[in-house]
């Protein structure tokens, strides 16, 4: 009986979400680590998440301390199997479907896993605020380098290579705590949010700024705000609809009720 009650609530919420989506023509979906947990990638702040096991390495430490860089690469190589084998889940697939139907114009993500693109979101409608871990870049000249080549060097010399172009420090193409946000992606996100009629947050604790400022900006410009997250977020009081449930089942049910 308890289960039936939960199912009923979930369907009601998915129907309410579908109702808002049906009225939207240029919605923005704003995602965080929570949309990828159903693919098997742990998030930061859930119990047992990455945060509780490993302190992230700040940008300043990465630049200043060779030992921090080594530790960062060691962690990255440890994750290689995960990053290359992981698949989009029904949440990513529902978002891509909303885009195909012309309801969603852009996806803004804090994730570095490229799973939205793997589900079919075109690159020109994708905004990656915290970069992408599938390759690396020189911090000075931005020359692209492949993870496999860096790994081979690391295994031979117990260190990552310097940039072959300028001698600069190589880092995965992700944004660490303390690192400047990518200007182009920030501008694209500002434009998408200014033009959107609905902002759907899925799987973000909305605690990491400046990324977390985008949903509130959308709301201030007159867009409807929906927050779909397992636990409460600081922006729940400003939302038109709050759903505290699992992302994959709710989003795929909402697509079915469109």
Catalytically active residues are 130
Q: Among 16, 18, 26, 46, which residue interacts with ligand NAD (rule: CB under 6 A)?
A: 46
Please tell me whether residue 169 binds ligand NAD under the rule CB under 6 A. Answer: no
The entry of ligand NAD, Zn ion, none near residue 38 (CB within 5 to 8 angstroms by kind) is ligand NAD
Q: Among 104, 247, 254, 255, which residue interacts with ligand NAD (rule: CB under 6 A)?
A: 247
Q: Among 94, 121, 138, 218, which residue interacts with Zn ion (rule: CB under 5 A)?
A: 138
Closest-by-Cβ residue to ligand NAD is 34
Q: Among 230, 236, 240, 258, which residue interacts with ligand NAD (rule: CB under 6 A)?
A: 230
Q: Among 12, 80, 140, 146, which residue interacts with Zn ion (rule: CB under 5 A)?
A: 140
Please tell me whether residue 6 binds ligand NAD under the rule CB under 6 A. Answer: no
Please tell me whether residue 205 binds ligand NAD under the rule CB under 6 A. Answer: yes
Please tell me whether residue 251 binds Zn ion under the rule CB under 5 A. Answer: no
Region 57-116 residues binding ligand NAD, contact defined as CB under 6 A: 110-113
Query: How far from 230 is each of 1, 35, 43, 224, CA to CA, in Å?
Result: 22, 10, 12, 20
**d(C-alpha 95, C-alpha 111), whole Å:** 14
Please tell me whether residue 253 binds ligand NAD under the rule CB under 6 A. Answer: no
Please tell me whether residue 145 binds Zn ion under the rule CB under 5 A. Answer: no
Q: Among 38, 185, 236, 240, which residue interacts with ligand NAD (rule: CB under 6 A)?
A: 38
Cα-based torsion angle of the residue sequence 28, 29, 30, 31 in order, rounded to the nearest 10 degrees? -160
By the criterion CB under 5 A, which residues form the site for Zn ion? 138, 140-141, 143, 163, 165-166, 168
By the criterion CB under 6 A, which residues form the site for ligand NAD? 32-34, 36-38, 41, 43-46, 49-50, 110-113, 130, 203-205, 207-208, 229-231, 246-247
């Amino acid at each position: 009986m308890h289960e039936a009650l939960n199912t009923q609530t979930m369907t009601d919420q998915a129907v309410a979400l579908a109702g808002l989506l049906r009225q939207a023509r240029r919605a923005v979906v704003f995602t965080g680590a929570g949309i990828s947990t159903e693919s098997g990638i742990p998030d930061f702040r859930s119990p047992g998440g990455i945060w509780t096991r490993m302190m992230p390495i700040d940008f300043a430490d990465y630049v200043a301390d060779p030992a921090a860089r080594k530790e960062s690469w060691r962690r990255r190589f440890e994750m290689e199997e995960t990053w290359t084998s992981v698949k989009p889940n029904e949440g990513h697939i529902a978002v891509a479907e909303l885009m195909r139907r012309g309801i969603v114009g852009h996806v803004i993500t804090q994730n570095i896993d490229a799973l939205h693109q793997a589900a079919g979101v075109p690159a020109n409608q994708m905004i990656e605020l915290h970069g992408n871990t599938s390759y690396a870049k020189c911090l000075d000249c931005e020359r692209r380098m492949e993870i496999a080549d860096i790994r081979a060097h690391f295994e031979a010399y117990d260190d990552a290579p310097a940039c072959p172009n300028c001698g600069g420090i190589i880092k995965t193409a992700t944004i660490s705590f303390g690192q400047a946000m990518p200007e182009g992606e920030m501008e694209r996100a500002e434009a998408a949010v200014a033009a959107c009629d609905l902002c759907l947050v899925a799987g973000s604790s909305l605690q990491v700024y400046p990324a977390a400022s985008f949903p509130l900006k959308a709301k201030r410009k007159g867009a409807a705000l929906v927050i779909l997250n397992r636990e409460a977020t600081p922006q729940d009081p400003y939302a038109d609809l709050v759903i505290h449930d699992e992302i994959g089942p709710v989003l795929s049910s909402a697509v079915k009720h469109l």
